[in-house]
Structure 1
């Protein structure tokens, strides 16, 4: 590398490090003599439970050379030795997330004697640790990464004459809880200078960086760094949900580029629009298909959004992408948290989150999340939202190589059935957004139940098998006053009374084998899997004429609704779906900076009803490549396909081929400020073909000539700018339109998709002084003008919504107030593809929260 360029990079890194150090004044005592007060409770929570490290103040801005790295097994785990004669000058900064212990060492560089010189890797150095890597992150920073199997490894740091030593203890069955120092008599604990036999007790100052998540599982079914994935994937971590007080998944997903809320089916479902296409195939929960139910956020650890086709891993899905809701898992240390939210429109929402071991050996772990919610609806109904949720999880560590987890979820959700407001002319009817056009007693009640297990067995250090099963059941009851046509001259809206009884049962089984091996210098992570599911759906409904209503001067007539048994007409739908899929995927490391992802899947799907039966078969491939010219930058490109069954038939009775989606994507992913800030910029084109359209010569049949196309550019930024200053931001340009359709005008825009949308949410928490723990948040959410239906007969105006928050965190408790829609603007949240299904957004809303951990 040109010496001037190298000098500039080094100087930039040193200046950045000094800025970060000056912004974070809290340190612990090091060999340079600086000290910090720390309570015994803080030490226990941060060192033992989280293995977090505090920065040591460097004595010199010159680069420290690490000339050798060793990984040596010990009786507790493994010692990682970074050999240098200047160990006392090293600064340690924690970036740990999930099971990954990550420590950055600014003002340091690897200078190893081997041919690589700039990277050290040790695979499976001890039981419970998958891999250790030490590499140059940039021109003046070393990154240490330790991947744990069962949890986040704990760490102790030793400073010896040999260099800097990380004492790493993995989370395994045989691991014992580290012994803590005796409880001090006062709240102040002063460290003594370390010796080779005494660990330096280090903790993180301020708040750990919890906005940037380095790894995800949705894109590959393995825990893979985002920088190695050749497809756009965005993660909304738990901290964002807490900072925004999000109690609905849609509130959290507004932070992700290219994602818009879709039709809610009267408020009882959550369908999202990703990259221009509504996801009628449903969402995922921990990798299983989860239908369209309203997702409870109380037990969510994070939300992963994979952009573009995902059929290669999950079967029949729409091509825009898939949302995977990742749930909380049992912890090896006791954890107890209680929370309470109260807010506008009578909202009350208490929550519990308990976890820890069930036996002294730590081989049985549990987690229990529960939430109750009442109120919070701004629409003018006679009844409120009422929800109850509970989710127990138990993990049995059968042996060091075998884990078995049992999970159960129960959700009862009763809420007003609400079609929203209505279109008028080419826009939205000029009526108050809290006015209902059904009847005040309309309701929908759903009961979701699921239970299953996850079994994992590790044959050796490189091969393992995973088997998962889930049973899910959904029971639904609705009492509805549905909308018909609007007479715009008189304002009269025709209506009908409807009742619905439905149940849905699904059995799903997943089995896959994961292996790591090498062919010469090329490294592979191979995944072979088999998925099988069976689903039975039953729906029965009745309907009758209802009095019309004037949208400008409504008169409600609940008393005219007939008894359920008096409804003169009825409808029913019964169906079964059986699916079987096989997939094979290989993550290939050609060189340290060149990676290939290739995979394919074959699916067989049988659908049947009392009057019809059809079978679909499809092969879906994916191939992508990642090139990393320098450590923080990943350039990638990929090709992927999707499929979903097509329900239409030709005039000769033959079935239409499945609807296919094809995506081409290029992108660049960057990790800046020592990987605290993660950015992703992507450009894509998706073509959805084989859509069934009416046969012009035989109107009762279909031909596969429909086509839709979406093109766009997306930018996402997530992470920590400075200690205490977090941000998540996005921008999307989406051009989604009909390209072929005999029933629609070619060029029509797809409904609910704005050309431009953007979001920005940022929080800052004061790190030092008398106001330490006081924080503020600000959010801006912009959605451009959208078409209301595929005919483009009306438009939904653009809006900017402003949110704000103030919070205070001290020791183990936090209190906060969030104000959503600060300036009380009228806006439309989503459209339902029809003129009479438009969901208005909530007005100014205040939520307060109090949470305590102990």
Structure 2
């Protein structure tokens, strides 16, 4: 290990230790103190039982005018129940809450958790500052679409700033009411026909009973008006307007709170995508530590470098997808799982994987449209429509349509993009959901790979184009998914999905090298064409999820099978060298020479079987263990010119385990450690004809996850050590063949923070140190850094929205994006300089309208994305304006 690595890793562990001390010994809340009788018993928190009076069930929804005055201290009628840290036993039924309603009343508002089993719900409450918090430890919020969502209502009545209903963990719903100046006054009741009802009184209505008591007894009280008692079903879109997302399915293929996952996973929600006005979905990952989006192949391949390793595949709703272009107008959020993902998804690099989660149908009507225009002739329009197609809401739909017509700061560049994504969800019964999703996308426009890597090219204007104006890239893609989700009982679920993806593209581009003519000004070039390239991916996944107990230990078992076929037919035409170009005074119009055809074909069949168990050893001690066995068959063909076609076949198998432990000493803190492995087939043979085993990645990770400000803000601090072995290197005795003795290491520390500090003040930030280097190789010096892997980086984005007064709805935002220097390629390193980009934004929303202005790169710095052999110039000062409306 190099001295630099030791210094960095030691510094990282020091800060990790300091952070742990600060979190563990932060001032404890009242509910936390009861968990500690002694340090010896820290692993087994003390169970506290409140002696309370159960609520009386009602046959109708009681309005505040019909019940006795509420208690202003925010006490409420409670059932004797477990706390979130002492959940109900496995035998207790987890009640499904299928919707949330807000009904205004004369006295305030009623929040109704819709379920036919309201009497079975157990409730425990507490207060924190002006917050009233109620936990329901035997329930789960799940809408008819089958997805878990968060309900949020801002300023529903006077004196209430916000109401949220969310899944706190897999078996607990949390209801939070934020008072404007004091704790909200709440009454609890239940109804067999509606569910659990939280009746919330406004500040004025709390005082009203005292006024009425001074009137004569025989005076008739005014009859409450029923006009305000008509139910108003608020739109529960599943799109959080905050930056903090509490759960994810990417890491476990089940809805699991992030705090219970022994691995770093970060989520970029729709709110961040909107506030930053992200028009290219890969840019969302710039908010995540240790992640570098790539702009390769003209910016139309979704590649990412994560913790030093580049993945040429992504996930879409959990399905492995090729590296083809994703427009992203239908993407709800972007989830980044750090570290090996092979335990659930098969062959992936050990750095991590990005999962695009798409928008799903809503149970309430929702209509939205947005128009964006900006610098460099950028124009984009989107529509998002959703709601029920039948009165019983068993048939739901969602339709996203987007069109973009844009130029660029780069010479001769123009593109036109269109996408349409319909989704249908049908729920024939309470326990069965059928979903059908289709996406079609089309792109027509210029092809621009950027500039060759080298010092002289950094001196050119960022607009300089060294190809030919006639270069183009045309893409058509289609994706379709069908899913059946059936619950046999509360403890047994079957989910089966089939996905088809097809991409067809044509492109012709001019490739510039780094070799110059004798004049030192003209660079050599060649012409390449990929005509009628077609890729097809077929995937079938079936998961069986079961919950059961072994004594006092609770299990959630996942058994899965995946069958996948990937084909790629790629006819490539290249030419002899064409006319070189003067990089300082370019003259265009060179014609290609003789075309030479090369035809490559690949077909990969994968069978994967995986098993995972999420074990609750204690309420605050959780174990995640799993493994996957993959069988991979690869057929490859190649033909150059008129030569005979050559065929090569490979068979690989690999077992990918993962084990992790999460310990939660107090409620807001999770300490975790994990071990996991990954694999990627090498598809190569030695000189003697022996097939080379796959490369293997092994990661050890430890970290701390914590939640602040009553769980509105979350933070993850992680330290990791990854070693990838069995990497192909050149055989020194037979240079046309390879041997697998290469090894690389990646070690680092990362911090990610996201959420809301104060009402209206949101933040998402990250920072990292990463030392990724070659530890063994035949030709490259050991210790040299990996390509496109900055040693350090940091981001900060924050917004503040005015909450009241005449300027309510006005929001200001800004952020910085720092990326350290990196080398292009270890075999021929060239250092790409670091940069610090500054952005700003201002927006205003009133009722259902929103207008926004985003300023990107406001200091107009000159910077580049590192693509190995290419430097991709990034945009100078850019202004985007948008106006949107929702109904």
- TM-score, normalised relative to structure 1: 0.82
1:507 is aligned to: 538
Residue 617 (structure 2) aligns with: 590
Confirm or deny that 1:770 pairs with 2:815: no
For residue 758 of structure 1, give the secondary structure of its aligned residue in structure 2: strand
Distance 2:679 2:126 in 1: 39
Of residues 121, 124, 127, the one that matches 2:94 is 124
1:615 pairs with 633, 643, 651, which one?
Answer: 651
Alignment of 1:208-219 (within 5 A): 210-219=242-251
Partner residue of 2:871? 838
Structure 1's 744 and 468: CA in aligned 2 closer, same or farther, altered over 3 A? Answer: same
Distance 1:654 1:71 in 2: 73
| Match in the other structure for 1:350 | 381
- Shift of the alpha carbon at 1:452? 1.9
Deviations 1:79-115 (A, max 9, x none): 9xxxx99853229xxxxxxxxxxxxxxxx99996879
| Correspondence for 2:275 among 201, 219, 243 | 243
Distance 1:848 1:73, change over 3 A: farther
Tell me what 2:714 maps to.
Answer: 678
Match of 2:886 in 1: 853
SS at match of 2:500: strand
Which of 81, 85, 88 is 2:72 aligned to? 88
Q: Quickly say closer, same or farther: Cα 1:118–1:603, change in 2 above 3 A.
A: closer
137-146 vs 409-418, greater mean Cα deviation: 137-146
Deviation, structure 1 residue 519: 1.1
Paired residues of 1:694 and 1:702 also in contact (CA < 8 A): yes
Tell me, what secondary structure is at the counterpart of 2:465? Answer: coil
Displacement of 1:164 after TM fit? 3.6
Does the alignment pair 1:314 with 2:345? yes
The answer to whether the aligner puts 1:748 opposite 2:781 as a matched pair is no
- The question of whether the paired residues in 2 share the 8 Å contact of 1:157 and 1:167 is answered with no
Residue in 2 that maps onto 1:165: 188
The 5 Å alignment of 1:617-766 reads: 617-766=653-802
Structure 2: distance between partners of 1:77 and 1:384: 59
TM-score, normalisation: structure 2: 0.79
Please say which of residues 808-817 and 263-272 is displaced more in the overlay: 263-272
Structure 1: distance between partners of 2:176 and 2:125: 20
**C-alpha distance in 2, partners of 1:813/1:374?**
24
Shift of 1:696: 1.6
Contact 1:284–1:324, Cα closer than 8 Å, also in 2: yes
CA contact (8 A) 2:451 2:512 kept: no
* Shift in alpha-carbon separation, 1:300–1:114, aligned structure 2, 3 A: closer
Contact 1:640 1:663 in 2 (8 A): yes
SS of equivalent to 2:460: coil
How much has 1:702 moved relative to structure 2? 1.7
Q: For the structure 1 residues 351 and 791, does the alpha-carbon distance in structure 2 shift closer, same or farther, using more than 3 Å as the test?
A: same
Deviations 1:806-829 (A, max 9, x none): 100100010000000000000012
Name which of 373, 380, 390 aligns with 2:420: 390
Q: Contact 2:243 / 2:271 at 8 angstroms: preserved in 1?
A: yes
Cα distance in structure 2, aligned partners of 1:677 and 1:689: 38
Give CA deviations for 1:606-640 in whole Å, capped at 9, x if unaligned: 00023111100000000000000000000000000
Is residue 406 from structure 1 mapped to residue 436 from structure 2 by the alignment? yes
Cα distance in 1 for residues equivalent to 2:797 and 2:84: 41
| Residue number among 310, 313, 316 corresponding to 1:278 in the alignment | 310
SS in 1 for 2:386: strand
1:467-486 equivalence runs, <5 A:
467-486=496-515
Cα 1:587/1:354, change in 2 over 3 Å: same
Q: 1:760 to 1:585 in 2, by over 3 A?
A: same
> What whole-Å deviation, never above 9, does each CA across 1:646-675 have from its counterpart, x for those lacking one?
122112211111110100000000000000
Structure 2 distance, partners of 1:652, 1:591, is 54
Counterparts in 2 of 1:809 and 1:649: CA distance versus 1, 3 Å:
same
Q: SS where residue 240 of structure 1 aligns?
A: helix
Aligned to 1:34: none
Distance across 1 between alignment mates of 2:26 and 2:536:
63
Unpaired runs of at least 5, structure 1 = 14-63, 92-107, 179-188
1:736-766 CA deviation, whole Å, 9 max, x = no partner? 1111111211111011111110000001010
How many angstroms does 1:788 deviate by?
1.5
Residue 454, structure 1, aligned to residue 483, structure 2: yes
Q: CA deviation at 1:551?
A: 1.0
Deviation at 1:150, TM superposition (A): 2.8
SS in 2 for 1:429: helix
Aligned partners of 2:538 and 2:232: how far apart in 1?
A: 48
- Distance (whole Å) between structure 1 residues aligned to residue 85 and residue 599 of structure 2: 69
Structure 1 pair 310–109 and aligned structure 2 pair: CA distance change class (3 A) = farther
Match of 1:266, SS? helix
2:632 pairs with 1:605: yes
Question: Distance between the aligned counterparts of 1:477 and 1:833, measured in 2?
Answer: 23
Structure 2 unpaired stretches of 5+: 1-23, 33-47, 99-114, 152-164, 166-174, 178-184, 198-203, 210-223, 638-646
Rounded Cα–Cα distance in structure 1 between residues aligned with 2:314 and 2:60: 41
How far apart are the structure 2 equivalents of 1:157 and 1:218?
A: 26
State the 1:252 CA deviation: 1.2
Mapped partners of 1:652, 1:512: distance in 2: 42
What is the RMSD computed on CA atoms of the aligned residues?
A: 3.6
Superposition map of 1:493-504 within 5 A: 493-501=523-531, 502-504=533-535
Q: Secondary structure of 2:272's match?
A: helix
1:304-343 superposed matches below 5 A: 304-343=335-374
- Displacement of 1:568 in angstroms is 3.0
* Structure 1 residues 181-200: aligned runs within 5 Å: none
Contact persistence 1:111–1:118 (CA under 8 A): no
- 2:303 is the counterpart of 1:267: no
Secondary structure of the 1:459 match is strand
